[in-house]
Structure formats: structure tokens, C-alpha cells
Amino acid sequence: MDVGIGSVLITGGAGFIGSHLAQALATKGCRVTVLDNLTSGHLENIKDFMKDITFVEGDIRDKDLLKKITQHCDVVFHQAAVVSVTKTVDDPVGSALVNELGTLAVLDAARQNNVKRVVLASSSAVYGDDPQLPKIESMPPNPLSPYAVQKLTNELYADLYNELYGMETVCLRYFNVFGPRQDPSSPYSGVISIFMRLATEGRTAVIFGDGEQTRDFVFVGDVVQANILAATGNAAGEIFNVGTGKAISVNALWALISRMAGDEQKPTYEPARAGDVMHSLAGVTKGYDRLMFQASVPLTDGLSQTLAWYRNHLTAQ
């Protein structure tokens, strides 16, 4: 399918979400350039379609490089970031240099080269712990970590570039994204990646708190679709949630994953993590009304695709 975008730059394109986006767009016939400094991205993620893209190893803080690679580019998908909330808590300044100044450098290079649109990865973290559900885009933000402040700052810059310079920007607030290639190696990795690894290895999970906290888990393929619609739809200057509008508890999630893996194990429980929000659920009306975006992969289908990937990947190591 031709998506009507000729040439794209994907920052963070060797990462979990960026690599899926790069693969999908290359398959659809776009000229794809991936920029990644390989801090949290991996060449392994793009090796299967490396011949169909241009890979540039580099950093979003490198203004000259950005200026060069945004030439003749129609759309920039900005996925690169310090993605760990904990890392931003430990190093608020270093992470802001990447997540704020890096983003500003991406926006500005795009402006200088008359890029038509920049789609930015934001996060449900900007909502904080407001108990009102679902979280809708018009709610006042309440950032509770440097990461959330950085993502909110990016949204403000995006809006500014749209208003002041007339360069189209769209921000996507990702909820809990999961799927193949998500890295399970840190204790703060996505819970599904951690549970997948444990289930594949026949080990049991640690659940923090009583396990009745809920999350809106969205499959990475749907996140790719949201990005494509954000790049092509009538959405300039807007912010959209990217979630499913459905939530599941961590207890139910582990039960599902361990059953799928064929080895049902009782989890162990540890005290809740500091700052953990109890419930998170995306309001999906705006995305549907404006972009016709609707997550289409049921949780169980996404989990079984993900489990298959972890099985292959972990046994191949």
C-alpha cells in the first residue's frame, strides 16, 4: 500500500518502536533513513531490512548531521529518546540534553529544510496520577518525573513550531506499548517484556503491589499504524493518545502469559513501586474521530505474536 509519503527520517529507528515503523514504511515503498546512536537501539532490530533503508549512526544532538539528513525529507518520525523514566530521575540534566534539546534540534533541522510534518513520540506519563479515567487529551497535564516534564516540553515545542513557523507537528501519547523486539533487560523494562522472558524460561514473575493495578497495553503494530495516520491525516498541531481504550490488571496479565507459555506459575508479590499509578486507560475518541485510528490487534493476538518472538529470540542466543 502506498501511504503517499516519499521520504522519511526516523530518529531512534533501531529501537523497539522505531524499527517496526522503519520496517513498515520501507515495505510500503517509502525511502527510509534511520538515525540511531545505538544507546538503546540495536542493529539486530533492523538487520532483516537493512538493505531497504539507509542507516546513519549518529546522535540527535548533532545539529549538522540533522540538517544534512532532513534535506528532501517529507516527514520526520521522532522516536529517539532516553526512554527509561528511572534514567531521567537519576540524570535529569543529561536526559534533558537528549530529550529536550535533542528534540528541539530535530524540530529545527526539519524547519530549516521545509519538512512537511514532524510526528513526535510523547507519553501517557504527561498525565501523571490524575485518577480520572480514561485519560483524555484535554486533561491538564501533571508530569511527575523528569521524563514526563521532558515529553511535555516537547509537546509545547511541537505546538510552537506549528504555530510560529507553520511547520506541521503531531504528538502521540503512547500508553503501554508491547511487542516483539522490546528489550527485557532492565528491571524497568515494559512489564510484558519481563513477563515474556520469565515465562519463556519457566520462571515465575514478581508482581509489585497487589497486582490489581491496570494498564492499557497497545501492540506495536497498532502504534505504527497511529504514526502513519498522524503523518498523513488531518492532524496538524494536535495531540493524540495511542492506546486501546481497554485495560487489564497485572495479575490477569501474568495469568494470561504464563498460561500461553504452557506453564502456569503462581507469581510472588513485593511492595508496590514508589510512584506507581494505580490505573491507566487511554481515551480513544479523539484519535478515532480525527485520524480514524483504532487499535485493531486484540491483546491475546499481540501476546501470542510476542511470545513466539521471545521464544525464537531467547533460544537463538
User: Is residue 201 at the binding interface for ligand UD2, with CB under 6 A as the rule?
Assistant: no
Cα 180 to Cα 46: distance, rounded to the nearest angstrom: 12
User: Is residue 273 at the binding interface for ligand UD2, with CB under 6 A as the rule?
Assistant: yes
Among 95, 106, 94, smallest CA distance to 65 is for 106
Cα 260 to Cα 275: distance, rounded to the nearest angstrom: 30
Residues 250-269 that bind ligand UD2 (CB under 6 A): 250
Distances (CA, A) of 32 to 1, 6, 77, 241: 15, 9, 10, 25
Environment class of 262 (CB within 10 Å of its CB; exposed 0-12, middle 13-18, buried 19+) = exposed
Residues 51-90 that bind ligand UD2 (CB under 6 A): 85
User: Is residue 213 at the binding interface for ligand UD2, with CB under 6 A as the rule?
Assistant: yes
SS3 162: helix
Q: Is 310 a catalytic residue?
A: no
Instruction: Please identify which residue in 65, 136, 139, 206 interacts with ligand UD2, judged by CB under 6 A.
Output: 206
For CA atoms 6, 16, 135, 143, the dihedral sign is negative
User: Is residue 239 at the binding interface for ligand UD2, with CB under 6 A as the rule?
Assistant: no
Between 8 and 242, name the residue whose CB sits nearer to ligand UD2: 242
Residues touching ligand UD2: how many (CB under 6 A)? 21
CB of 191 to ligand UD2, least distance (A): 3
Determine which one of 127, 147, 174, 310 is catalytic: 147
Cα 70 to Cα 109: distance, rounded to the nearest angstrom: 7
Between 55 and 178, name the residue whose CB sits nearer to ligand UD2: 178
Interacting residues with ligand UD2 (CB under 6 A)? 85, 123-125, 176-177, 188, 190-191, 194, 205-208, 213, 215, 250, 273, 276-277, 280
* Residues carrying an active site annotation: 147
